């Protein structure tokens, strides 16, 4: 592969660059701070409804019930009947990213007000199919009291889909916010913007512009900064792992850019005999200079002005070739093959900027891309935004408007590929993947059904992707196993069990019952959606069951027995509810550094996965 060769340099070990192999566009948080929840010192005069706890638990059946365990680490709002107030941070923020976990009580209502003025709604919206702006993850409406009833609300932003979890489960939210902009005279020149909201792994808000404060704002005056405010007068809610990244520093600026385009072989920068086929000055980094589309080397030089000392991350995209980046004579990215990333410690000043893009693969589209992020500086694009290295491909989405079945490969965490997966979708927007090799459900999710683009676009690879908020159920293992005793280890596969899949049959509603033989017993495994879209109900029946058979119900970092057949799995990620086990008692045991929930099975077992 052709490249441009620099003359050798030397520098101290303190200036070595750490290179990372992440894709361009992965978000790297800078200057992130965690809100300490060892006390309430980060907040302004907290009222008595706010407290700290070491644990929190909601009741699935009772409204507004949230019980706590003494200690610290979790922020809890218990509004009660009188005197509940909102909670404000002492610090104020402009552009910011916020990341946190939260837990809703059944029927509860809360909200996060960015700058105290723009509300991201928190609500028990569990199971709702068509969420509105007032549902969980929605951007609440603005309000005009002068309008007739039913018309006062406007400019709300509903979440793209409902990714909400059940009461009592931890939910994870990431918010990226851009404050409004003002000119020197204080006139607003740009609206506030919610760049994104991710809820439980799903993008639910994307570049939502906010023309003004939402209903219930602390005031109607927009400013460059304001406190984070959490609603406290509506319902019981708990928070943990609150981290804030503030972006309030001036970004690096490029100037004095010059480019030279060379055709052909590797070129040394200090080679005075090298002849450029195109050269000139530029106001922006772009690959749209010259006329060559392949077998070229593009060299940019210039100055980058740095105003903040600290560690900076550069991400370089050089499709169809390789590239490199130097700042102040030091490698920021020594070598990028299509993509590359590097970190470099920079001091304030005007530093030499040197970038190379050498393209050698004919079918790739030339498209130079470079981003930078740093201390208090949100990642942004330094190159021409009009140049894209992607040929847009419309996603091939499959919506389950009725009970739907699709075979595909499914990829799970840890590099696990389920090669005999059956994806089962429902109009209630609760779906699951069944592994025909193991006789078990390996993942459940709510929201969108499947993205079949990896399978059906171009040649494809046979796999589909979950299009909603997924809950993985651990490493696939046989759903039923024969154990010598209740503490015997669970096998990783079905070798030696006589396992034979027998496909599935559909009922009148097109819902499958999976059938297989294991240890000489015929197993019928039927799953249906719980009323209200609250999870999956499973009914497993065995014909002529062998002795010593157990069913595998759950694996997690921890499993908590909540009583009456209810178990909370994997740091409150989902519930298992045992309904009918023909008198058998579940066994909660340690296994390989985790916990397992298993149960003896003879003729029939019914239980639910609630999430």
Task: Tell me the average pLDDT across 412-426.
Answer: 97
The pLDDT of residue 90: 98
Name 508's Cβ contacts closer than 8 Å, sequence gap at least 6.
Answer: none
pLDDT tier for residue 272 given thresholds of 50, 70 and 90? low
User: Alpha-carbon torsion 591, 596, 600, 602, what sign?
Assistant: negative
pLDDT at 13 over 80: no
The enclosing H or E element of 455 equals helix 453-456
Give the whole-angstrom CA distance, residue 399 versus residue 431: 11
pLDDT over 50 at 21, yes or no = no
Three-class SS state of 494: coil
pTM (predicted TM-score): 0.89
Handedness of CA 215, 221, 224, 230 (dihedral sign): negative
Question: For the ranges 8-17, 23-32, 156-165, 407-416, which has the lowest average pLDDT?
Answer: 8-17
pLDDT at residue 150, as a whole number:
86
| Mean pLDDT of all residues in 258-265 | 87
Q: Given pLDDT bands bounded at 50, 70 and 90, which one contains residue 228?
A: very high
List all residues 6 or more positions away from 599 whose beta carbon is below 8 Å from its beta carbon. 550, 551, 553, 578, 581, 584, 585, 586, 587, 605
- What does the alpha-carbon distance between residue 58 and residue 68 come to, in Å, rounded to a whole number? 9
Residue 264: pLDDT band (50, 70, 90) is: confident
CB of 317 within 8 A of CB of 338?
yes
CATH topology of domain 4-22+250-381: Jelly Rolls (2.60.120)
pLDDT tens-digit readout, 50-60: 999 999 999 99
Domain 397-610 fold is: Beta-galactosidase; Chain A, domain 5 (2.70.98)
pLDDT at 12: 33
The reported pLDDT for the residue numbered 9 is 31
d(CA 286, CA 355): 11
Among the residue ranges 24-33, 228-237, 357-366, 547-556, the one predicted with the least confidence is: 24-33
Residues of the chain with CATH 2.70.98: 397-610
Place of tokens 């994806």: 423
Query: pLDDT exceeding 70 applies to what percent of the chain?
Result: 93
User: What tens digit of pLDDT does each residue of 489-513 get?
Assistant: 999 999 999 999 999 999 999 999 9
Assess whether pLDDT exceeds 70 at residue 584.
Answer: yes
> CATH number of the domain at 32-247, out of 2.60.120.560, 2.30.42.10, 2.60.40.1260, 1.10.443.10?
2.60.120.560
Rg of the Cα atoms in the chain: 28
Listed in order, the ranges of the chain carrying CATH 2.60.120.1560 are 4-22+250-381
In this predicted structure, which of 82-86, 203-207, 241-245 has the lowest mean pLDDT?
A: 82-86
Is pLDDT at 25 greater than 80 in this prediction? no
And the tokens for 444?
Answer: 């459940």
Contacts of 146 (CB under 8 A, 6+ apart): none
Phi/psi of residue 456, nearest 5 degrees: -110, -10
Output the pLDDT for position 80. 83
**Rounded mean pLDDT, 431-444:** 98
What residues contact residue 443 under an 8 Å CB cut-off, 6+ apart?
410, 412, 432, 433, 466, 470, 471, 472, 473
**What pLDDT sits at residue 391?**
62
Q: Which of 543, 553, 544 is nearest to 584 (CA)?
A: 553
Residue ranges, CATH 2.60.120.560, the chain: 32-247
* Alpha-carbon distance values, 115 to 43, 221, 411, 439, 555 (Å): 14, 11, 40, 50, 41
In angstroms, the CA 299 to CA 263 distance is 11
Q: Residue 389: what pLDDT? A: 60
Residue 83's pLDDT band, with cuts at 50, 70 and 90, is confident
Task: Give the integer Cα–Cα distance in Å for 579 and 107.
Answer: 24
Indicate the helix (H) or strand (E) that contains 453: helix 453-456
- Alpha carbons 492 and 435: distance in angstroms, whole number: 13
φ/ψ (deg, to 5) at 405: -130, 135
Extract the tokens encoding 546: 């062998």
pLDDT tens-digit readout, 191-223: 999 999 999 999 999 999 999 999 999 999 999
């Amino acid at each position: 592969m052709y490249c441009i060769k620099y003359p050798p340099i030397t520098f101290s070990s303190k200036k070595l660059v750490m290179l990372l192999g992440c894709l361009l566009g992965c978000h790297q948080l800078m200057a992130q701070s965690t809100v300490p929840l060892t006390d309430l010192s980060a907040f302004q005069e907290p009222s008595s409804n706010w407290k700290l706890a070491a644990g929190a638990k909601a009741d699935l059946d009772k409204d507004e019930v949230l019980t706590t365990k003494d200690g610290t680490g979790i922020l809890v709002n218990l509004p009660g009947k009188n005197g509940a107030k909102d909670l404000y941070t002492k610090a104020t923020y402009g552009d910011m990213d916020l990341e946190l976990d939260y837990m809703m009580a059944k029927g509860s209502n809360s909200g996060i007000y960015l700058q105290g003025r723009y509300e991201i709604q928190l609500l028990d919206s569990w199971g709702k199919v068509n969420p509105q702006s007032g549902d969980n993850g929605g951007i609440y409406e603005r309000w005009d009291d002068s309008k007739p009833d039913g018309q006062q609300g406007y400019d709300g932003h509903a979440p793209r889909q409902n990714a909400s979890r059940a009461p009592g489960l931890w939910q994870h939210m990431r918010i990226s916010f851009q404050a409004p902009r003002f000119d020197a005279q204080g006139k607003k020149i740009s609206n506030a913007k919610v760049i994104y909201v991710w809820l439980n792994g799903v993008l639910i808000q994307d570049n939502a512009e906010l023309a003004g404060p939402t209903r219930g704002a602390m005031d109607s005056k927009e400013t460059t900064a304001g406190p984070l405010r959490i609603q406290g007068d509506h319902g019981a809610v708990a928070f943990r792992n609150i981290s804030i990244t503030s972006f309030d520093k001036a970004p690096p600026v490029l100037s004095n850019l010059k480019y030279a385009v060379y055709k052909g072989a590797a070129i040394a920068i200090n080679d005075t005999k090298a002849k450029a086929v195109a050269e000139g000055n530029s106001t922006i980094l772009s690959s749209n200079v010259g006329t060559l589309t392949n077998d070229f080397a593009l060299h940019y030089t210039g100055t980058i002005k740095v105003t903040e000392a600290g560690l900076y991350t550069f991400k370089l995209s050089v499709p169809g070739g390789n590239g490199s980046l130097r700042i102040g004579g030091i490698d920021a990215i020594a070598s990028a093959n299509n993509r590359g990333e590097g970190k470099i410690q920079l001091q304030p000043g005007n530093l030499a900027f040197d970038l190379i893009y050498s393209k050698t693969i004919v079918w790739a589209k030339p498209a130079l891309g470079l981003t930078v992020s740093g201390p208090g500086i949100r990642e942004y694009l330094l190159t021409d935004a009009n140049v894209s290295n992607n040929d847009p491909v419309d996603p091939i989405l499959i919506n389950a408007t009725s009970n739907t079945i699709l075979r595909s490969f499914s990829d799970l965490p840890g590099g696990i590929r389920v090669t005999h997966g059956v994806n089962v979708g429902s109009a209630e927007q609760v779906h699951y993947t069944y592994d025909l090799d193991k006789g078990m459900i390996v993942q459940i999710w709510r929201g969108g059904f499947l993205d079949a683009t990896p399978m059906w676009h171009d040649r494809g690879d046979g796999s589909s992707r979950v299009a909603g908020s997924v809950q993985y159920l651990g490493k696939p293992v046989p759903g039923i196993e024969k154990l010598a005793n209740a503490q015997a280890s669970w096998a990783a596969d079905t070798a030696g069990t006589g396992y034979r899949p027998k496909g599935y049959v559909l009922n009148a509603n097109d819902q499958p019952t999976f059938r297989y033989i294991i240890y000489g017993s015929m197993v019928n495994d039927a799953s249906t959606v719980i009323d209200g879209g609250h999870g999956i109900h499973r009914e497993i029946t065995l014909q002529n069951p062998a002795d010593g058979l157990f069913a595998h119900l759950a694996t997690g970092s921890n499993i908590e027995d909540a009583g009456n057949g209810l178990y909370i799995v994997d740091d409150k990620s989902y519930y298992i509810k045992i309904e009918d086990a023909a008198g058998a008692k579940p066994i909660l045991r340690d296994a390989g550094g985790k916990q397992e929930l298993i149960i003896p099975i003879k003729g029939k077992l019914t239980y639910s996965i609630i999430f």
